[in-house]
Chain A
Amino acid sequence: MSHVNTGVKIFKKLLEKGQMDRETEVDLFLEFRSPDVRSVLAELEEEMDFRIVETSQTLYLVPDSGNSLLGFTTKDFREWVAYDARLVDAYLLCYISMFIFYLFYGGKNRNPKQREFLRISKLIEELDRRFLAALDQDDSSGVLEEGYAVNFLRIAELWQSKQGFEERSRKTKTGTVLNTCRLLERENLLHMVDEEREIRTTKKLDDLMLNFYLNDSRVEEINGLFEGGVKADAQY
């Protein structure tokens, strides 16, 4: 098999599942280390806006942030909440996702992973605290130089307006959090256990966080996103 064939074969495997494990694809995994195959894949990475993240046991296909061909769009996120969901719901979904990652990987140690599991009730408490802090600070506005964005205060209000823990509809806090977790579970980033009362990270999330997502070299890309520098290629 030529290097191009091997490279494309690896790419196809990666497209199928988003990852390729050493355990099931021993030969291809070894081929990946050949410089010729790597250079074929590097061209594909360049042309199709993705990168391959390599860990000791698994290869992952990671779409570039703005890649809506291989990745997701706001519309997808919004539709995950509900067919009639608004952008504000997608914003909240994104914030809760990032907050979950922060609670797991926000440690200051060399290993940033600071917890093994997270109870849904604890997550809701922490979100309450965070949103309340934002709303409180808004009341005493002008105290800090850089305050919260108006839109963030709107999602904080949206959060606070949701009912407490009992009901599981998406109009409650529990329902909203569970909906977010289910999306992350569908993407193989979280496991929901103990009758959906607890979440745990998957090996994929650990791998991607520690080997790629949290890497200092991504700061510029993140800056670009928040400063509007990275233009969306196709949002809809």
Chain B
Amino acid sequence: MEMGEREFLEGFEKRMQVVAAIDSIVNRLNRNMDVERMFGPGQLDNMIFSVLVFIMERTLAEDEECTMESIAGFIAQIMPYYGLDFPGETIKKVGDYIIKDILQNGGEVRYYPVMNYEKGLTQTRIRLIDDKLKESGRGYVMTYQLTDQGYDLLFRTKEVEEEISFTIEELKLRELIKRKNYRKAIGQSSNLLQMVRQKKNDIKQFIERIRENIYQVDIGEFEKLVGSTYTLLEEEYSMMNEIRDMILLSEERLKEEETTRGNLDDQMKKARLEIAVIRRNINFTINEQKELILERHSLSRIYQTTITDSFSLSLAKNYNFEQEILARLERCNEEVIPELWKLLNPLFRPNLDKRLGPLTLFERQSPLRQEEDRGEGLVIEELGEDLELLKIKRLNEIHRLFVQSILEFAEKQKGSFRFGELFPHLKEKEEVYSLLMQEDLIFQAMLKLYELGIINIQLWKEQQDEVVSNATGELDVEYCLYLIAYEYPDLFGVTKIEITKPDQAIFQEEITFRQEEGWFSRRIAISDFLFEVSFT
């Protein structure tokens, strides 16, 4: 289409950008009906726009950071205007819903098709607010501010077009001061301050956008910002100086009047106060403008470096993540599963400490596991490695039960005892007994305890630090104590047990067990060890 014939459609995309921004609020996705139902028709729309204005006010006029708490505070203040009264927790939920689900679209990028009659239909990204993660003493704090689009929308819904308005504001201010209309001039000067802060925010956001992702930045936007904004600011900078001079002049005149008349009437006193406020605002504005002008070159430099660096990036093609990784993870063969760490490996930090640090020398030594034959089609729970782990877990549990039974029995006996006395106690606890008899575990564990000679619980309590998980399945008294203490923190009042062989006494037992179809029995003989127990 020849634009000559359709000149009225020139810049049509600007109109649609406003529509797109409004659409993101009115036709919001991610609707949570539980929250929506709490409001009458249109109420939430009004509230969302109010929150946007609040964010602007907070970040521009007050130069304060806008957090979720301050937004919730604001919502609580405006609720009565809607005839609503919600508890604090609900207000927080509403704030969260407005910011995260609606204005940030649940974190997902939102696009709207916008027609540009010269370039065709383009997908325009809609983002009205931006957030920033800051680290504080208590963790991360999220602060919110409007994006360019957000400001644009708000200005178009009330203030006149941003750049014209800036000049108009200045002219109005100059005229008002000339006419000594200071009260109105205060309003105008604070508007100027707001606008310059907004420009400062624009620059900051732009730099962040460049750093975050150069693809989101349009070269046209960059040129517009660097070219027009800074030229404008420089002009304004000199104009603001003029205004400040005028203010100084007004102050001098007031002084002269005071000297001539001897004193100032109420009206003149008020005028003097108002001029002071204007002067403060103007000074703030000039300072902020100065900073911006000084930063001009850094913005260009950052943009140029980033664009150069990302040139090769723009040529790179990405693979389809879902197809190449997710789908293949869902269909991968069993033998690939132990290799999956390789997918994450390149993203993780070098893990050198773990491999080469001195601790490795002191790590528990466990026998090398032999590669087990795996039958075809085995499901994953039955993999050799898992079986090994399950076996160790089972052994650890049996040992825990054994040590716990010794402590229980010691408490019951209130003194020392022999293995021959402990055994019937174990036998009474059928479940524990049957576990302990598997593979003669009880006798192996008993010999291990004798080898240790002493279980010093008191000392263990005092020195107890990091718990090392038992990786081997061998009897590890400290690990058992750690597990028992979880359920019985006083460890049955026992402080020490000494295991000795005071004489040649032998404990003998006939053991009956079942193997496949038949019953078998065998006689087992073991030294009748003595358990000498100390209590607290």
B332 touches A149 (CB 8 A): yes
* Residues of chain B within 8 A of A83, CB atoms compared: 469, 471
A102 touches B386 (CB 8 A): no
* Residues of chain A within 8 A of B338, CB atoms compared: 74, 87, 232, 235
B326 touches A76 (CB 8 A): no
B341 touches A17 (CB 8 A): no
Q: Is A8 part of the binding interface, using a Cβ–Cβ cutoff of 8 Å?
A: no
Looking across the interface, which residue of chain B has its beta carbon closest to that of A217?
B316
Looking across the interface, which residue of chain A has its beta carbon closest to that of B329?
A95
A204 to B352, CA, bound (A): 19
Nearest 8 interchain pairs by C-beta: A83-B469, A18-B349, A117-B107, A65-B342, A56-B309, A71-B345, A216-B317, A111-B215
B345 touches A216 (CB 8 A): no
B346 touches A63 (CB 8 A): yes
* Residues of chain A within 8 A of B386, CB atoms compared: 86-88
Q: Is B108 part of the binding interface, using a Cβ–Cβ cutoff of 8 Å?
A: yes
* Residues of chain A within 8 A of B15, CB atoms compared: none
* Residues of chain A within 8 A of B322, CB atoms compared: 102, 106
Residues from 369 to 391 in B contacting A, C-beta threshold 8 Å: 369, 377, 379-381, 383, 385-386, 389-390
Q: Is A200 part of the binding interface, using a Cβ–Cβ cutoff of 8 Å?
A: yes
B377 touches A150 (CB 8 A): yes
A56 touches B316 (CB 8 A): no
* Residues of chain B within 8 A of A84, CB atoms compared: 389, 392-393, 469
B92 CB → nearest A CB, Å: 11
24 A-B pairs with CB atoms under 8 Å apart are: A56-B211, A64-B345, A65-B346, A73-B341, A76-B351, A83-B471, A85-B389, A86-B383, A86-B386, A86-B390, A87-B380, A111-B213, A114-B109, A116-B107, A116-B108, A119-B106, A122-B107, A149-B330, A151-B380, A215-B316, A216-B318, A217-B316, A225-B339, A225-B342
Looking across the interface, which residue of chain A has its beta carbon closest to that of B135?
A191
B380 touches A88 (CB 8 A): yes
A112 touches B309 (CB 8 A): no
A101 touches B305 (CB 8 A): no
Residues from 197 to 224 in B contacting A, C-beta threshold 8 Å: 211-213, 215-216
Residues from 134 to 152 in A contacting B, C-beta threshold 8 Å: 134, 146-152
A191 touches B140 (CB 8 A): yes
A76 touches B109 (CB 8 A): no
B107 touches A206 (CB 8 A): no
B347 touches A66 (CB 8 A): no
Q: Chain A: residues with CB nearer than 8 A to chain B?
A: 14-15, 17-18, 50, 55-57, 61-74, 76-77, 83-88, 90-91, 94-95, 97-99, 101-102, 105-107, 110-119, 122, 134, 146-152, 154-155, 187-189, 191, 193-194, 198, 200, 203, 205-206, 208, 210-219, 222, 225-226, 228, 230, 232, 235-236
B326 touches A99 (CB 8 A): yes
Given A14-B350, A214-B319, A222-B325, 10 extra CB contacts under 8 A:
A56-B211, A56-B309, A86-B380, A90-B340, A90-B341, A106-B322, A115-B107, A152-B330, A206-B213, A228-B335
A90 to B385, CA, bound (A): 12
* Residues of chain B within 8 A of A205, CB atoms compared: 347
B516 CB → nearest A CB, Å: 29
B107 touches A213 (CB 8 A): no
B340 touches A18 (CB 8 A): no
A225 touches B343 (CB 8 A): yes
A149 CB → nearest B CB, Å: 5
* Residues of chain B within 8 A of A134, CB atoms compared: 330
Looking across the interface, which residue of chain A has its beta carbon closest to that of B130?
A116
A110 to B109, CA, bound (A): 13
B344 touches A72 (CB 8 A): yes
Question: Given A65-B345, A95-B329: A214 and B318 within 8 A (CB)?
Answer: yes
Pick from B313, B341, B381: contact of A86, CB below 8 A: B381
A17 to B336, CA, bound (A): 30
B334 touches A188 (CB 8 A): no
A96 to B360, CA, bound (A): 30
A214 CB → nearest B CB, Å: 4
* Residues of chain B within 8 A of A218, CB atoms compared: 319
* Residues of chain A within 8 A of B333, CB atoms compared: 149, 228
B381 touches A154 (CB 8 A): yes
B385 touches A87 (CB 8 A): yes
A118 to B106, CA, bound (A): 7
Q: Is B324 part of the binding interface, using a Cβ–Cβ cutoff of 8 Å?
A: yes
A193 to B107, CA, bound (A): 13
Q: Is B355 part of the binding interface, using a Cβ–Cβ cutoff of 8 Å?
A: yes
A117 to B523, CA, bound (A): 68
Q: Is B158 part of the binding interface, using a Cβ–Cβ cutoff of 8 Å?
A: no
Looking across the interface, which residue of chain A has its beta carbon closest to that of B211?
A57
Contact with A along B178-196 (1 / 0, CB 8 A): 0000000000000000000
B324 touches A63 (CB 8 A): no
B393 touches A193 (CB 8 A): no
A200 to B131, CA, bound (A): 11
Q: Is B331 part of the binding interface, using a Cβ–Cβ cutoff of 8 Å?
A: yes
B324 touches A213 (CB 8 A): no
Pick from A17, A206, A208: contact of B346, CB below 8 A: A208
B344 touches A97 (CB 8 A): yes
Pick from B309, B325, B348: contact of A98, CB below 8 A: B325
Question: Given A65-B346, A117-B104: A214 and B309 within 8 A (CB)?
Answer: no
Question: Given A74-B340, A74-B341, A222-B325: A88 and B106 within 8 A (CB)?
Answer: no
A213 touches B309 (CB 8 A): no
A155 to B383, CA, bound (A): 14
Pick from A63, A94, A210: contact of B343, CB below 8 A: A94
B299 CB → nearest A CB, Å: 15
A57 to B390, CA, bound (A): 47
Question: Given A107-B109, A117-B107: A87 and B343 within 8 A (CB)?
Answer: no
